[in-house]
């Protein structure tokens, strides 16, 4: 198995910097790539030097520890300088053509056994790696935001990914004190299809009867959450949520799986840059009205989860672990199904099927 000691990060924005810092703090050397020397300097100053100085100021680490981490991270504007890396993680903006071009450039300058991965949350890994020679060394390594705090990493195997590449990435994720789960190449991978479906269903009810505070409260009640789904959407950014919903619909809506459409409310929130008020009460207390939302929400989560298992995208254990770890849900979908029983589970799933959101998955 290839041992990873030096990690390259292409794209040192918020996500790439968090991935790089996490690796450096776990004992790896990091070389990040940005577009030009000015950006290299600016990103190092903002995401490395300032971030470490703040930790020292807060008493979270000593100056000596901070200096060691800062010294383990270097930046470059040249792809050729990534040749020293054992693993390269791409974290540029979500533009498919840009990513494909980026991987082609990486492939030209690094050794044939350098592992090359993408942190994309939407694009198929096989498509992104089409211009990389020796595709056996390619895969996905999907970190969840914020990457320095959220412990989940999806290790995504595309058809060509070798066992050696997969095992090296699992070891690397564990070396970064992450919780890795194994996922096959699939639109959105494993956790996002579940979460995106959940918020699309919830957002579809937004209006006069159901205000944002009520929908937040319903998601907290039916999924046992401390912070509900409306809160997470607001934190993630409504633009991100809107685009992810559109992307998942394009991939799955017209397949044998199906997918909920993007609600007009979410589209309007994105286009008009609306600020959601999570305390815009009063909260609707009517049990039947709350169940109308909560039952469809849970039924939709069960549908997409069953489809992911039927398509062999992920195992039951890994999906539950992934949902609990990345989304902080107290129970994964299959634990919830087991506790409800088969009859109640099918009844809730039928609601999502009748609504036209999903095809009924094999149980």
Same domain (yes/no): 212, 144: no
The model scores a pTM over 0.75: yes
pLDDT at 146 (0 to 100): 85
Q: Which of 184, 211, 228 is a domain's end point?
A: 184
Residue-number span of the structural domain to which 288 is assigned: 191-354
Residue 137 lies in a domain: yes
* Cis amide leading into 146 (omega within 30): yes
| C-alpha 138 chain-centroid distance | 18
Q: By C-alpha distance, which of 218, 350, 351, 230 is closest to 293?
A: 218
Written as one string, the DSSP assignment of 242-272 is: HHHHHHHHHHHTTSSS--PPPPHHHHHHHHT
My answer on whether 175 and 195 are in the same domain is no
Measured over the CA atoms of residue 24, residue 28, residue 29 and residue 33, the dihedral's sign is: negative
The reply to whether 80 falls in a domain is yes
Residue pair 182/315 in contact (Cβ under 8 Å)? The answer is: yes
Q: Are residues 202 and 162 in the same domain?
A: no
Burial 89-101 (b: 16+ CB within 10 A, else e): bbbbeeeeeebbe
Order of strands, sheet of 138-143, starting from the edge strand that comes earlier in the sequence: 73-76, 29-33, 6-10, 87-90, 115-118, 138-143, 152-157, 179-184
| Radius of gyration from C-alpha coordinates of the chain | 21
The pLDDT value recorded for residue 148 is 86
Instruction: Report pLDDT for 1.
Output: 83
Instruction: Kindly state whether residue 363 falls inside one of the protein's structural domains.
Output: no
Cis peptide before 282 (omega within 30 of 0): yes
Does residue 236 sit in the same domain as residue 167? no
Tell me: do 289 and 179 sit in the same domain.
Answer: no
Number of domains in the chain: 2
Structure tokens at 153: 């990493």
Does 288 share its domain with 309? Answer: yes
- For 186-209, the pLDDT digits (tens) are 999 999 999 999 999 999 999 989
pLDDT value of residue 92: 95
Model pLDDT, residue 261: 98
Residues 134 and 56 in one domain: yes
Give the residues of the chain that fall short of pLDDT 70.
Answer: none
Q: Let me know if residue 1 belongs to a domain.
A: no
Asked whether residue 337 is assigned to any structural domain, the reply reads yes
* CATH code for the domain in which residue 36 is found: 3.40.50.720
Does residue 210 share a domain with residue 142? Answer: no
Q: Are residues 204 and 162 in the same domain?
A: no
Q: What pLDDT is stored for residue 299 in this prediction?
A: 98
Boundary residue ending a domain (184, 202, 225): 184
Q: What is the pLDDT of residue 208?
A: 83
- CATH code, 263: 1.10.1040
Q: Are residues 205 and 136 in the same domain?
A: no
Same domain, 202 and 170: no
């Amino acid at each position: 198995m290839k041992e990873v000691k030096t990690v390259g990060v292409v794209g040192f924005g918020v996500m790439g910097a968090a991935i790089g810092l996490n690796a450096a703090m776990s004992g790896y050397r990091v070389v990040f790539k940005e577009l030009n020397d000015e950006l290299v300097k600016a990103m190092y100053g903002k995401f490395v030097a300032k971030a470490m100085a703040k930790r020292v100021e807060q008493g979270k680490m000593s100056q000596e520890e901070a200096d060691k981490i800062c010294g383990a991270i270097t930046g470059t504007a040249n792809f050729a300088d990534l040749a020293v890396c054992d693993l390269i993680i791409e974290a540029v903006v979500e533009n498919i053509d840009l990513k494909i071009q980026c991987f082609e450039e990486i492939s030209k300058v690094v050794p044939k056994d350098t592992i090359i991965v993408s942190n994309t949350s939407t694009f198929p890994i096989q498509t992104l790696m089409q211009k990389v020679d020796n595709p056996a060394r390619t895969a996905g390594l999907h970190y969840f935001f914020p990457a320095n705090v959220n412990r989940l990493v999806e290790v995504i195997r595309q058809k060509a990914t070798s066992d050696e590449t997969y095992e090296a990435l699992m070891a690397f994720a564990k070396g970064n004190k992450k919780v890795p789960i194994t996922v096959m190449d699939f639109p959105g991978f494993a956790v996002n299809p579940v979460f995106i479906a959940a918020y699309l269903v919830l957002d579809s009810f937004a209006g006069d009867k159901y205000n944002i505070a009520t929908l937040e409260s319903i998601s907290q009640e039916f999924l046992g959450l401390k912070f509900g789904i409306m809160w997470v959407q607001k934190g993630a950014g409504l633009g991100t949520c809107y685009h992810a919903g559109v992307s998942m619909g394009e991939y799955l809506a017209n397949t044998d799986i199906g997918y909920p459409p993007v609600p007009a409310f979410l589209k309007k929130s994105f286009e008009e840059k609306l600020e959601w008020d999570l305390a815009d009460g009063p909260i609707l207390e009517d049990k039947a009205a709350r169940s109308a939302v909560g039952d469809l929400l849970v039924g939709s989560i069960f549908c997409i989860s069953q489809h992911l298992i039927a398509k062999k995208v992920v195992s039951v254990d890994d999906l539950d672990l992934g949902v609990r770890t990345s989304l902080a849900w107290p129970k994964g979908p299959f634990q919830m199904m087991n506790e409800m029983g088969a009859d109640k589970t099918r009844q809730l799933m039928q609601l999502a099927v009748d609504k036209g959101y999903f095809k009924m998955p094999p149980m």
